[in-house]
């Protein structure tokens, strides 16, 4: 969404537990009423109101950055626990954590930081009585850089997976079936930054039959598997639903496909998203969600690819540009520059839907 439109009007129906999100190109946090979390993405992380900042520039014209705001109706209580900032209602919890990587000599320890961050997240959940992790966002610098660790050389994303999985295994939360929806992207710098949504009620996790579950990836993708589900659906007693689709890339089975072809990678990512939407609907027993009516957060590795990726998303999804809008102003998509967690992947797309 861009700053000129009123994003909330695009999603008048909030989802489960009145949850909704907006993405704006301008930086002012509108009102604190009902604010669960505010996340600022920009190349310069100098925001004073956001709960958490991510060094990731917006690729849409005229935007200083992207402010992602999660909102609910009703009362929100704010607190801190260790490195975590949190806000919660009686049913939903937002947690934001930034942790500098511990240093061993000159070497940064992303595995250690991941383990600490997830331990802190699980501690807030336990303290506030939220049993279920629904969605996690993971952002850290130099995600594709190789590092010497314990005698071997591992990509930092793979080291991150070791620490994340260790924290899951030290907790009672599943790192496999029932794991939260998630994404993991590389920033331009700064601390490990994670934020998450948790609930008192259990979400339904969704897998993609076109892809091997990430928690079952073969060892060639790293000694420990990534701990996430392809999607999750949170529902409430009033019949509201929210669908979280994890970061989705051009992976079929467990292999990256269309190496070097950013348009084909975008199309394959969207085929995967359409499949996850269908699986979510299958689980719900009706066509609750449509890929045409989701909010998309698109990450491109190379800034120069942003226009063609955005055009491909609009072409495939037939996005409604809205009255008087020019192409480039589609309101249901933001495009950010980030590194994707396999060196050959040029694009990753995540989405959220409310019904
Ligand atoms: C993939 O499908 C691409 O480690 O939390 C997507 C979503 C990806 C989440 C994560 C990684 C994660 O394997 C990468």
Domain ranges of the chain: 9-354
185 touches ligand 1 (CB under 6 Å):
no
Q: Which two tokens stand for residue 95?
A: 């947690």
Give the separation between CA 67 and CA 336, rounded to whole angstroms: 12
Q: Of these residues, 155, 207, 348, 350, which one is catalytic?
A: 348
Q: Which two tokens stand for residue 153?
A: 């050389």
Q: Considering only CA atoms, which of 60, 55, 59 is closest in space to residue 44?
A: 55
Contact 40, 65 (CB under 8 A): yes
Give the separation between CA 104 and CA 113, rounded to whole angstroms: 12
Give the separation between CA 2 and CA 328, rounded to whole angstroms: 9
25 touches ligand 1 (CB under 6 Å):
no
> Which ligand 1 atom is nearest residue 157's CA?
4
User: Which residue has the least CA distance to atom 12 on ligand 1?
Assistant: 183
SS3 132: strand
Q: Considering only CA atoms, which of 287, 291, 292, 216 is closest in space to residue 251?
A: 216
Give the separation between CA 24 and CA 62, rounded to whole angstroms: 11
CATH architecture of residue range(s) 9-354: 2-Layer Sandwich (3.30)
User: Which residue has the least CA distance to atom 14 on ligand 1?
Assistant: 341
pLDDT tens digit at each of 355 positions of the chain: 333 333 433 444 588 899 999 998 876 777 788 999 999 999 887 788 899 999 999 998 778 899 999 999 999 999 999 999 999 999 999 999 999 999 988 899 999 999 999 999 999 999 999 999 999 999 999 999 999 876 789 999 999 999 999 999 999 999 999 999 999 999 999 999 999 999 999 999 999 999 999 999 999 999 999 999 999 999 999 999 999 999 999 999 999 999 999 999 999 999 999 999 999 999 999 999 999 999 999 999 999 999 999 999 999 998 754 554 444 344 589 999 999 999 999 999 999 999 9
SS3 302: coil
182 touches ligand 1 (CB under 6 Å):
yes
CA–centroid distance, 113 to ligand 1, in Å, is 18
The per-residue pLDDT for 29 is 78
> Which ligand 1 atom is nearest residue 214's CA?
13
CA–centroid distance, 325 to ligand 1, in Å, is 33
The per-residue pLDDT for 319 is 74
CA–centroid distance, 226 to ligand 1, in Å, is 7
Contact 53, 188 (CB under 8 A): no
Contact 153, 104 (CB under 8 A): no
265 touches ligand 1 (CB under 6 Å):
no
Q: Considering only CA atoms, which of 193, 195, 96, 186 is closest in space to residue 141?
A: 186
Order of all β-strands in the sheet with 77-81: 77-81, 84-88, 92-99, 192-199, 132-141, 181-187, 339-340
Q: Which two tokens stand for residue 306?
A: 């942003």
Would you call 287 a catalytic residue per the annotation? Answer: no
| pTM summary value | 0.94
The per-residue pLDDT for 320 is 58
**In the beta sheet, which residues pair with residue 133?**
198
The upper half-sphere exposure of residue 189, i.e. CA atoms within 13 Å in the direction of its Cβ, equals 3
Spacing of C-alpha 145 from chain mean position: 21
Taking 3-state DSSP, the helix, strand and coil percentages for the chain, each rounded to the nearest 5, stand at 25, 35, 40
CA–centroid distance, 44 to ligand 1, in Å, is 25
Q: Which residues of 5-18 are buried (b: 16+ CB within 10 A; e: fewer)?
A: bebbebbeebbbbb
CA distances from 240 to 17, 45, 233, 344 (A): 7, 35, 10, 38
The per-residue pLDDT for 11 is 46
> Which ligand 1 atom is nearest residue 217's CA?
13
What one-character DSSP code corresponds to residue 202?
P
The per-residue pLDDT for 139 is 98
212 touches ligand 1 (CB under 6 Å):
no
Contact 246, 205 (CB under 8 A): no
Distant-in-sequence, close-in-space partners of 201: CB < 8 Å, separation ≥ 6: 91, 132, 234, 235, 236
């Amino acid at each position: 969404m861009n700053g000129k439109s009123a994003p909330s009007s695009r999603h008048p129906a909030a989802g489960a537990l009145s949850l909704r999100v907006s993405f704006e190109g301008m930086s002012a946090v509108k009102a604190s009423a009902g604010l669960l979390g505010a996340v600022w993405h920009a190349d310069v992380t100098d925001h004073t109101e956001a709960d958490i900042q991510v060094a990731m520039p917006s690729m849409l014209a005229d935007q200083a950055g992207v402010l992602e705001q999660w909102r609910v109706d009703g009362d929100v209580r704010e607190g801190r626990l260790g490195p975590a900032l949190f806000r919660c209602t009686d049913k939903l919890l937002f947690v934001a954590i930034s942790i500098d990587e511990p240093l061993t000599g000159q070497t940064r320890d992303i595995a250690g930081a991941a383990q600490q961050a997830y331990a802190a997240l699980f501690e807030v959940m336990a303290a506030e009585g939220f049993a279920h992790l629904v969605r996690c966002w993971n952002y850290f610098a130099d995600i594709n850089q190789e590092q010497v660790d314990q005698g071997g050389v591992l990509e930092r994303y793979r080291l991150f997976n070791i620490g994340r999985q260790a924290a899951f295994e030290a907790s009672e939360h599943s790192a496999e079936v029932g794991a939260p929806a998630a994404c993991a992207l590389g920033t331009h710098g700064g601390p490990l930054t994670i934020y998450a949504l948790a609930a008192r009620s259990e979400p339904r996790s969704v897998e993609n039959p076109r892809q091997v579950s990430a928690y079952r990836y073969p060892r060639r993708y790293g000694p420990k598997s990534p701990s996430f589900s392809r999607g999750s659906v949170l529902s409430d007693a009033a019949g509201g639903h929210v669908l979280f689709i994890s970061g989705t890339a051009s992976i079929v089975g467990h292999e990256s496909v269309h190496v070097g072809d950013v348009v084909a990678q975008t199309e394959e990512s969207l085929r995967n998203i359409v499949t996850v939407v269908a699986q979510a609907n299958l689980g719900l027993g009706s066509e609750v969600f449509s890929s045409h009516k989701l909010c998309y957060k698109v990450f491109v590795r190379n800034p120069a690819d942003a226009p063609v990726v955005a055009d491909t998303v609009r072409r495939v999804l037939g996005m409604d540009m809205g009255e008087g809008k020019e192409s480039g102003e589609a309101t249901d998509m933001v495009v950010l520059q980030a590194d994707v967690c396999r060196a050959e992947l040029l694009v990753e797309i995540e989405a959220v839907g409310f019904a």
